[in-house]
Structure 1
């Protein structure tokens, strides 16, 4: 079968022929119908992210995957051949958090094997192209908003970086009643998209009037919550400066750069907080699927392009260069 493989030692990525995997005990195999391309995949290829638990040097990328079950392993109950499913982006094994497509083979392939515990049925009304990226692209901001930050309605929120995760964060924040929502991105197209997704205000971080505009929008109090989806050190400085008393800075975007608090005394005096966030638990995906079923959410606007699996390298290039300002590019075998 075809698979998008990365050698993490050499940094070489290629779509190549590999042996088909088969479902072992406690596993299922799915025929992949759609797989999302995430900035984390780009960072893996570029060497900015390194797998912690990968056995060997090579891995099939792709942690956002949906398809149809076509093999059921020994001991698996409650799942049948032909079911439409998505795969959770990872699992906890032996106390370690393992990420699909990072620490073990993922969904940039014609077939993918998964632990039965990470398989989630999806309704016939939800397309594979929209279902595949609910784990991570939607569930990560959802978990950051609801679990890590505990966002309350009618509280001011800032979202730095309106890409694949940030755009969904704006949509989700609007749904739960956060207000005002201030989106921050250097790209005009991203700011326009933020307004379309429900932001009340969209600002360029380089705007000389940035601080006063945030103050005006929040009645002079600042932000109750500031989310960094960019993983850029200057973003975190600006976001921290924008916080209100008891405000929380939530670090979702990943970076190996140090965190700097611009005024430590002020930060302590105002009793502000910094919280790290990574991924989401299985419950977040289930909650989102229930909201989709109840017509509270839909993600057709998030599918920015569909490419064949053989063109995975081109999809990576488009996302890395922000060509067309994509939210999610989708690979189909």
Structure 2
């Protein structure tokens, strides 16, 4: 889901190397002590070394944003501007930034590495051990302007609208990383997707694009299952079906699933996905969840966790 930046007005500003710039902007602020949000006038931030200031055109609404508001996920800052699925144009360029200029159409990364952990020091920024998530660890883009690290920018082609580009930062890049990097899906493999919401919908489409067959969607909502079929799923099953495992076996010619993706983040969906894997199969838990995903672990099964932006997380699975 996405919404156009809802703040009116334009202000003049001058770069001050990371300090607040002249002028104010409107921003949605989350207050951790009261778990309330409010649209407030705050100083326009200035880009520091290696950063750019982005004038926001569109910013998405992610379920994790709502989970911060309702307290499902703990707050990292007393106050923070939410929103991490953004698109816009570069308004100012910080010191040391090359390859970018004012007016460039960009998508900021939904997170940034710490640059200090062991992996970052080795140059493996994608697998930063202390990744900082936009709108949680630092201010996001439910605002007129947001600061972004230049190394995490993606250029928007001229033929891609801002409203479509905005969701690339999370709702598309996270599923892409899950399918291509973590799940390593290849042509001809059987794939199942549990939970076909914003993330699961893109997993279905991406699995189809890389050549998986069949692609099977699982959801409790009939309308969602119908949409999954329209977007490329070969089958769409109700995950509450008592004969589900038999239907998966029939759909895959008895093979079961090479790769299963749990985009629901529930213990029941995780265990169900695990139970539908073939020997040597992979189970990928995608996104953020507060649920302890502990389950049976069978020989020759590989279990992974995948978080926003493409990095891998370790997961402990007990039992034999």
* Same fold, TM-score > 0.5, yes or no: yes
Question: Residues of 2 paired with 1:141 and 1:85: CA distance?
Answer: 20
Following TM superposition, by how much is the alpha carbon of 1:281 offset from its aligned partner in structure 2, in angstroms?
A: 4.5
CA contact (8 A) 2:191 2:213 kept: yes
Aligned counterpart for 2:171 among listed residues 130, 133, 137: 137
Matches within 5 A, 1:256-271: 256-262=290-296, 264=297, 267-268=298-299, 271=300
Report whether the alignment pairs 1:175 with 2:209: yes
Counterpart of 2:46? 22
Whole-Å separation in 2 of the counterparts to 1:58 and 1:17? 14
The 2-side partners of 1:157 and 1:23 are apart by 43
So what's the TM-score if we normalise by structure 1? Answer: 0.79
Aligned-residue CA RMSD in angstroms? 1.5
Contact 1:186–1:206 (Cα < 8 Å) also in 2? yes
CA drift at 1:230 = 0.6
Q: CA deviation at 1:117?
A: 1.5
Q: Secondary structure at the match of 2:202?
A: helix
Structure number with the bigger relative contact order (C-alpha 8 A, sep ≥ 6) is 1
* Secondary structure of residue in 2 paired with 1:216: helix
Q: Could you tell me which residue of structure 2 aligns to residue 76 of structure 1?
A: 97
The aligned residue for residue 13 of structure 1 is: 37
Deviation at 1:247, TM superposition (A): 1.0
Matches of 2:26 and 2:81, distance apart in 1: 10
Alpha-carbon distance, 1:8 to partner: 2.5
Separation in 1, partners of 2:32, 2:277: 39
Unaligned 5+ runs, structure 1: 283-333
CA deviation string 1:268-326 (max 9, x = no partner): 2xx112111112259xxxxxxxxxxxxxxxxxxxxxxxxxxxxxxxxxxxxxxxxxxxx
Once residues 50 and 280 of structure 2 are traced to their aligned partners in structure 1, the CA distance between those partners, rounded to angstroms, is 46
> Do 1:28 and 1:115's aligned partners in 2 also have CA atoms closer than 8 Å?
yes
1:275 and 2:304 are equivalent in the alignment: yes
Task: Report the structure, 1 or 2, having the larger helix content.
Answer: 1
1:152 Cα deviation after fit: 1.4
Equivalent of residue 118 in structure 1, options 120, 127, 152:
152
Q: Which moved more, 1:111-120 or 1:215-224?
A: 111-120
Deviation at 1:71, TM superposition (A): 1.1
- Offset from partner CA, 1:215-235 (integer Å, 9 cap, x none): 100111211111000111110
CA contact (8 A) 2:108 2:149 kept: no
- Structure 1 distance, partners of 2:295, 2:233, is 26
The structure 1 segments of at least 4 consecutive aligned residues displaced by more than 6 Å after TM superposition are none
The partner residue of 1:97 within 131, 149, 152 is 131
Deviations 1:135-175, CA, capped at 9 Å, x for gaps: 11111111111111111111111000111110011111111
Q: In the aligned structure 2, how far is the partner of 1:24 from the partner of 1:157?
A: 44
Aligned counterpart, 1:309 = none
Distance of 2:223 and 2:209 partners within structure 1:
22
The whole-number CA distance in structure 2 between the counterparts of 1:204 and 1:160 is: 10
- CA distance in structure 1 between the aligned counterparts of 2:146 and 2:309, rounded to whole angstroms: 21
- Mapped contact 2:140–2:146 kept (Cα < 8 A): yes
- Counterpart of 2:228 in structure 1 is 194
Which residue, out of 65, 82, 85, partners 1:61?
Answer: 82
Deviation digits for residues 197-223 of structure 1, max 9, x if unmatched? 100000111112211111100111211
